[in-house]
Amino acid sequence: VPSSRKPLGWTPISVVGPMGRTVADACLQLAATAGVSATDPLTYDLDPLSFLRPPEVDLGGLRVGWTEDFGACDVDPGIRATFRARIAAMRHLFRSCEPVDLELGEVHRCFDVLRAEAFVAGTRAAYERDPASLGANPRANYEMGAAMSLLDCAWAQAEQTRILARFQAAYREFDIILAPTTPVSPFPWTEPHATHVEGRAQANYYRWLSLTYVTTLTTHPSLSLPCGTDAAGLPFGLQIVGRFRADRHTLGVAQAMEQAFAGSPELRRPRPDASRLRPPVPAFDSIVTAPPIHAGAASDGSASAV
């Protein structure tokens, strides 16, 4: 999917993609947005409409590898236990389903440098004009990058290349790799990020997202498929990582898994109980509403459009 707004056109760190209720929804949005663009040098020629019909995949022929943490990420014990239970419940669907031992290298430092580099490129003008105009986190990202050297950038670019090679080596034995999507159970929206994972304080505000930024570093296609609930009764996401540039095949795998999971209470996508939702206040059932009645004021009965 072209991303013409990113200031560093040659970096794959900033990516965009679809979100939907189902795999078919995601395929539809991808078909509408994917393709080559002269504004994004990392795009390549393809038929976007091909995403509307991903290939039919026989799950029984897949060699599946799974990892709780990519050998590098903090993951809460409860999420690890839920993930292992999901693997046990689905392993019969595949030709094989085995743990994969990954030693990818210094993924966190690599991502720190590449992310900071992007922030320097994108926020330098604003920072130099008025540092206070940036929020605390973007400002910290900029200052981290501004303090780095060309040696740091060269090392990170080379390390990402090594990470790609190490990760691709796993696909000699596996067709897809499964992992949790997030390392913690969903938390209140009022908390901006997870500060602790697996009992350890996180180095920064985005470290808790490492399960997904590791796959971003590899540039392999990945998606999150709803897969039951965790021990807290909250939605659990299963990350599916396909082969390099095998986007359609990865979508086909996800669609086949989605269909197979539908018959399993443990694996299928959780659906909200609409009857338990509180009614909206005020009850917005029309675009025309009565004006607000303030204390001590009488309504004249007129209506207003909002």
Claim to verify: residue 85 and residue 222 sit in the same structural domain: yes
What pLDDT is stored for residue 305 in this prediction?
A: 43
Worst-scoring range by mean pLDDT, 1-10, 84-93, 139-148, 178-187? 1-10
φ, ψ dihedrals at 200, nearest 5°: -110, 135
φ, ψ dihedrals at 206, nearest 5°: -110, 0
Claim to verify: residue 178 and residue 263 sit in the same structural domain: yes
What pLDDT is stored for residue 163 in this prediction?
A: 98
Claim to verify: residue 125 and residue 72 sit in the same structural domain: no
pLDDT > 50? residue 306 = no
pLDDT > 60? residue 182 = yes
Q: Is residue 168 classed as helix, strand or coil in its secondary structure? A: helix
Burial class of residue 234, CB neighbours in 10 A (0-12, 13-18, 19+): exposed
DSSP E strand stretches across 194-242: 196-197, 200-201, 222-229, 235-241
Q: What is the mean pLDDT of residues 34-58?
A: 95
Q: Centre a 10 Å sphere on the Cβ of residue 20 and count the other Cβ atoms it contains.
A: 12
Tokens of 124: 């330098």
Find the helix or strand (DSSP H, E) in which 304 lies. strand 304-305
pLDDT > 90? residue 287 = no
Claim to verify: residue 224 and residue 258 sit in the same structural domain: yes
245: left (phi over 0), alpha (psi -120 to 50) or beta: left
Claim to verify: residue 136 and residue 187 sit in the same structural domain: no
Nearest CA to 114 among 14, 219, 210?
14
Among 144, 165, 186, identify where a domain stops: 165
267: left (phi over 0), alpha (psi -120 to 50) or beta: alpha
Q: How confident is the model at residue 5 (pLDDT cuts 50, 70, 90)?
A: confident
The residues facing 82 across adjacent strands are: none
Claim to verify: residue 139 and residue 213 sit in the same structural domain: no
What pLDDT is stored for residue 303 in this prediction?
A: 44
Among 165, 182, 215, identify where a domain stops: 165
Claim to verify: residue 178 and residue 262 sit in the same structural domain: yes
Identify the CATH number of the domain in which residue 242 sits.
3.90.1300.10
pLDDT per residue as tens digits for the range 140-170: 999 999 999 999 999 999 999 999 999 999 9
pLDDT > 80? residue 300 = no
Please state, rounded to an integer, the average pLDDT across all residues of the chain: 92
Q: Considering the domain boundaries, does residue 142 fall inside one? A: yes
Claim to verify: residue 96 and residue 233 sit in the same structural domain: yes
Identify the residue with better confidence: 15 or 98: 98
Residues in CB range of 26: below 8 A, 6 or more apart: 17, 18, 19, 20, 223, 251
- C-alpha 83/C-alpha 80 separation (Å) is 5
Claim to verify: residue 185 and residue 263 sit in the same structural domain: yes
- C-alpha 176/C-alpha 178 separation (Å) is 7
Bridge-based pairing state of the strands 96-99 and 63-66: parallel
What pLDDT is stored for residue 292 in this prediction?
A: 62
Q: Considering the domain boundaries, does residue 293 fall inside one? A: no
Find the helix or strand (DSSP H, E) in which 125 lies. helix 107-129
How far, in whole angstroms, is CA 16 from its chain's centroid? Answer: 10
- C-alpha 197/C-alpha 69 separation (Å) is 12
Claim to verify: residue 48 and residue 85 sit in the same structural domain: no
Q: Centre a 10 Å sphere on the Cβ of residue 26 and count the other Cβ atoms it contains.
A: 21
Q: Considering the domain boundaries, does residue 148 fall inside one? A: yes
- C-alpha 231/C-alpha 233 separation (Å) is 5
Claim to verify: residue 24 and residue 126 sit in the same structural domain: no
Q: What percent of the chain clears pLDDT 90, i.e. is strictly above it? A: 85
Number of helical H runs and strand E runs in the chain: 7, 9
Nearest CA to 242 among 234, 252, 227?
252
Full residue range of the structural domain in which residue 256 is found: 62-100+173-270
Torsion of CA 254, 67, 205, 231, to 10 degrees: 80
Claim to verify: residue 120 and residue 18 sit in the same structural domain: no
Worst-scoring range by mean pLDDT, 144-148, 158-162, 188-192, 269-273? 269-273
pTM score > 0.85 for this model? yes
- C-alpha 146/C-alpha 134 separation (Å) is 15
Q: Considering the domain boundaries, does residue 133 fall inside one? A: yes
What is the number of structural domains in the chain?
Answer: 3
Do 124 and 141 contact (CB within 8 A), yes or no? no
Q: Considering the domain boundaries, does residue 304 fall inside one? A: no
pLDDT per residue as tens digits for the range 118-132: 999 999 999 999 999
Q: Considering the domain boundaries, does residue 193 fall inside one? A: yes
**Which residue bears the tokens 């034995």?**
173
Q: Considering the domain boundaries, does residue 180 fall inside one? A: yes
What pLDDT is stored for residue 99 in this prediction?
A: 98
pLDDT > 70? residue 245 = yes
